[in-house]
Structure 1
């Protein structure tokens, strides 16, 4: 009997639900019909008016383009300018330019709806208290507006305290903020803290740890599992934790995916490097693996094909690949070619002797020293005169030039 009653009650419930659904459906169509013939007002004009107001405000008050304003207006809703105006006034009072404000709003439009006194001002005051100038802070926050989204007490202050415990000096924390403001967005507890602890366990000097945090904060904040993997790879390659190159190698591996690294190794292989040569180059200067394929190809083509330099010599001095081909490598070799042709260079020169010295040292040793002999030398170096104009090139190289090139490739 009880089961029968339950069954009847269930049937009645289902029937009522069906009737309710049918009623709601009919009501929807009736209201829609009334709206279409004008018996009821549609809220579409009102919504369109609000949208038009937001668009006008974003364009006229925030300096956004119509396209950017359209995108921004879809992420926010306000019907009067009171709160947005108060936000803009606060930003202007704290040194933000119109261009920076436009960039802020374009990147994070919801910022206009924040409470300026409770949410924005305390964070601005916090960063200013660290010693950041108002102009620098405006640049930092406009480039990284999501700093405004972080809790001051739960995130920004603890992040600062941790960075200070790692870097030891307040000025270095300030440098980190200026160079890598995104460092203040990361979770220090889950990632950076164990990463730094691992480096200290391996004996990496404090100065090198500071260098990593200040210059490569994204890599320092990498997930701990990924960081451990990179450290193990570097250790297996034979890098010494007591050397700065150890830190460089870690950050390079963290920036590159395995397929990307393999493609770079394959590219160098096409220029004659064996696997051992590539490993040697990486150990001498890991940054050479971060160069674009175009940069590598152009530099190798000039040094190997035009200057006749064995690719093995470049593997021994991979730092030369980091120099600008147009601004450093070619101008210096132009000078060397002239000096060789004029029999003014008596000593053997290596690749590193030509390209590694700083600008002033190179000028003193290879340009100023020979200006009395070749007045046009500086013009050639500066790209104001072609080699042909000083008679340094001919279809047939001079014996002295040929001898020099033979020494280079030996």
Structure 2
């Protein structure tokens, strides 16, 4: 007959299970002291440490579970740092800094993981890009409205994923912070009523994303009324908002300076050129404008010639000083064109020197040397459309003068 070992007293047994007895007692109770039963006994007796929380487990292993915060829970700061490091790819130092800047802490990684999936899968951000975004704007990972806002930008406004990604990275707070129904959709309705179509709204917003998240009652509508009072027609107004909205949402002082300059230049508010002359002028700081003007004057232009060129083609004042100098020196040295002739057709300053002016010059120089061109090289040769130039001066002569195709096909190289 098998003799049964006497059971210890309950108190002794509990001490053994809880590790409070002697070493021999603990050895005898090892088999009985399994982890689940130990927790049961501890809860029954009110002793021992509190059960391990799910949040603690998530910090030690996978961080995709919700983090309950409360008695015996995980410090939200620690959870935030852990998530920023292991899920967002930040270094320990950057994660600590981002956690301090974040308004509030992550109390659940479920939403944070959903945000990361949206950034990666919907907007196509690489892990490095996500890390950069979270480092500068850590509040993004705890946003509960970002999915609805991204849907608005993509589906209602019509931006592409690449465009949304670019705007988010350029200014994450201003792009993602405005309320959907408090700011974004009301602005969209204002722009739709003003511009007449979704396509026009999209074109304007691409030029200046501020149109969709700024307070239009403050930054836009008063200026539109000032333009109407100045005599700008609705068609011209629409064209201005579509092509140069930054001139309307930035720097109120420059806006009024622009109106004064248009009056001084003699540009009619009802003319088709007004949206472009006003738009370009109002976007350029006065100091930059003065520097651009001085650059032209140093090349032998008069102020009257600069004004005339600007009224005909405002973008001649948008080109950098170096680009203007490079092109003007080339036209003067190689073609003998002076400021008076160039000012009469200033669109040439919008052409690429490497891809348009220089290759065409090479072709025309060959044709001139072969006697094909009788009256020399003129401005019209440079302003001619790409299709017409190819037909008239390359394709037409490539069989008899094959050098023209080689000269134009290269599109780069030094002038000989």
Q: Which runs of 5+ in 1 are unaligned?
A: 1-48, 394-410
C-alpha RMSD over aligned residues = 3.1
Residue 217 of structure 1: aligned partner: 245
What secondary structure is seen at the aligned counterpart in 2 of 1:244?
Answer: coil
Evaluate the alpha carbon distance shift between residue 97 and residue 256 of structure 1 in structure 2; reply closer, same or farther with a 3 A threshold: same
TM-score by length of 1: 0.72
Give the distance between the partners of 1:386 and 1:124, measured in 2 at CA: 46
Question: Which deviates further from its counterpart, 276-285 or 305-314?
Answer: 305-314
- Please give the per-residue CA displacement for 1:301-349, whole angstroms capped at 9, x wherever unaligned: 1111233221221122211112111111111111111111111112454
User: Does structure 2 retain, via aligned residues, the 8 Å contact 1:175–1:214?
Assistant: yes
- Please give the per-residue CA displacement for 1:150-173, whole angstroms capped at 9, x wherever unaligned: 122332122112111210112322
Evaluate the alpha carbon distance shift between residue 141 and residue 67 of structure 1 in structure 2; reply closer, same or farther with a 3 A threshold: farther
Q: Does 1:91 align with 2:118?
A: yes
Evaluate the alpha carbon distance shift between residue 354 and residue 136 of structure 1 in structure 2; reply closer, same or farther with a 3 A threshold: same
Evaluate the alpha carbon distance shift between residue 199 and residue 274 of structure 1 in structure 2; reply closer, same or farther with a 3 A threshold: same
Taking the TM superposition and a 5 Å limit, the aligned residue runs for 1:113-128 are 113-114=142-143, 116=144, 119-128=145-154
Taking the TM superposition and a 5 Å limit, the aligned residue runs for 1:223-302 are 223-302=251-330
- Please give the per-residue CA displacement for 1:107-131, whole angstroms capped at 9, x wherever unaligned: 42212233x1xx3344344445526
User: Does structure 2 retain, via aligned residues, the 8 Å contact 1:195–1:228?
Assistant: no
Give the distance between the partners of 2:287 and 2:166, measured in 1 at CA: 34
Evaluate the alpha carbon distance shift between residue 302 and residue 348 of structure 1 in structure 2; reply closer, same or farther with a 3 A threshold: closer
Residue 112 of structure 1: aligned partner: 141
Alignment counterpart, residue 83 of structure 2, candidates 45, 57, 63: 57
User: Does structure 2 retain, via aligned residues, the 8 Å contact 1:273–1:311?
Assistant: yes
What secondary structure is seen at the aligned counterpart in 1 of 2:122?
Answer: coil
TM-score by length of 2: 0.71
Give the distance between the partners of 1:67 and 1:323, measured in 2 at CA: 48
User: Does structure 1 retain, via aligned residues, the 8 Å contact 2:88–2:130?
Assistant: yes
Q: Does 1:184 align with 2:184?
A: no
Give the distance between the partners of 2:182 and 2:112, measured in 1 at CA: 28
Evaluate the alpha carbon distance shift between residue 63 and residue 207 of structure 1 in structure 2; reply closer, same or farther with a 3 A threshold: farther
Judging by fraction of residues, say which structure has more helix. 1
User: Does structure 1 retain, via aligned residues, the 8 Å contact 2:254–2:285?
Assistant: no
Give the distance between the partners of 2:315 and 2:160, measured in 1 at CA: 35
User: Does structure 2 retain, via aligned residues, the 8 Å contact 1:150–1:185?
Assistant: yes
- Please give the per-residue CA displacement for 1:258-316, whole angstroms capped at 9, x wherever unaligned: 22211111111111101111111111111111211111111111111233221221122
In the TM superposition, structure 1's runs of 4+ consecutive aligned residues that sit over 6 Å from their partners are: 49-52, 384-388
Alignment counterpart, residue 78 of structure 1, candidates 85, 90, 105: 105
User: Does structure 2 retain, via aligned residues, the 8 Å contact 1:304–1:310?
Assistant: yes
Q: Which runs of 5+ in 2 are unaligned?
A: 1-74
Evaluate the alpha carbon distance shift between residue 68 and residue 283 of structure 1 in structure 2; reply closer, same or farther with a 3 A threshold: farther
User: Does structure 2 retain, via aligned residues, the 8 Å contact 1:95–1:138?
Assistant: no
Evaluate the alpha carbon distance shift between residue 59 and residue 326 of structure 1 in structure 2; reply closer, same or farther with a 3 A threshold: farther
- State the 1:101 CA deviation: 4.0
Give the distance between the partners of 2:191 and 2:270, measured in 1 at CA: 22
Taking the TM superposition and a 5 Å limit, the aligned residue runs for 1:2-81 are 54-64=80-90, 69=95, 72-76=98-102, 78=105
